[in-house]
Structure 1
């Protein structure tokens, strides 16, 4: 079946099958967070992005092959409610942006900086720091050598706009400027965007609206 990225809490995962990577997306409650399981097709190694909630759902998604690592995109509590339980069950290494680790009450084994690389098996993901939603939010870019890029944006970019900057003009300008510089200016329109909540999008679908977002201020 064709991947749509449309999932609902208590519903099945949707699986995006790429040449070297499988991406499984589930929604968990109570805030309709997305969690993503990445599996290297060559090695079988797995990584989870955002152990948000519903531990049983996440462990079922992970399955018997377990995970080697779990990445937390940012420090807000709805993105790490199940982190300790998942780590306890799997022994996974934990990754998070260096400037957000103080707000995550589970030890971060590997704090990452802008430009770092996180690997899942043979697959490399590039880390980009975006300041505005939180000080240390990170996005993960998989530049698929067999196709177009794929970006896991946490709460920094959604269909229709950037993440919440709490009516802070400076934070908004920082976040919008960051996604323009590090995503829109560098990646193609075909780039698939996997956000922390809700439906997926592409950079091409959002690019025509950048000036509109800047003008409205959110």
Structure 2
């Protein structure tokens, strides 16, 4: 069985991408959580991840690190990870790579499933990122028929955008009606609801990631400790 090494569910957007993909694809794995707490996380993570970052997948004696690399490794064995249609598959790979290498505003912040933030002044780079994501969602739904980004089935593209969907929702940012409907579909996935629920119940708080939310705006709700 695969072993998937992940970090805190409340903070680690990159861990969520692979975790959700494997859950939605019904790929059995043993979850290994290594938290950010206790000092130098790179030193701690590098004891089992060559890059010192998470997620990292272990397949017997083989290690695969980086979310995009793990996705492609799994896709060699499971065809449904990417769309079957060639055009949809090329597009899904492109937007996943764009999320992986771009969208610095979102990827530089913690996931923070537990907090809702009021953003009275929206930075220009955040506004541009949300507009781009809104455009991509509408493009995918229009070209491939929905209800998921690249067609009728959940694929890696949806997994790669799932953390950003959580953030846009928790920042209370506006998107088009079509995009909002897609966001709600992803947020309603039982596996994603499971991740968020477990994230909210985590007892750990890391000041570095907590401060990131305060840089965006005023925290208006913290769901932790609500039972």
TM over 0.5: no
Bigger radius of gyration: 2
| Greater per-residue strand proportion | 1
| Greater per-residue helix proportion | 2
TM-score by length of 1: 0.29
Task: Between the two structures, name the one with larger relative contact order (CA 8 Å, sep ≥ 6).
Answer: 2
TM-score by length of 2: 0.28
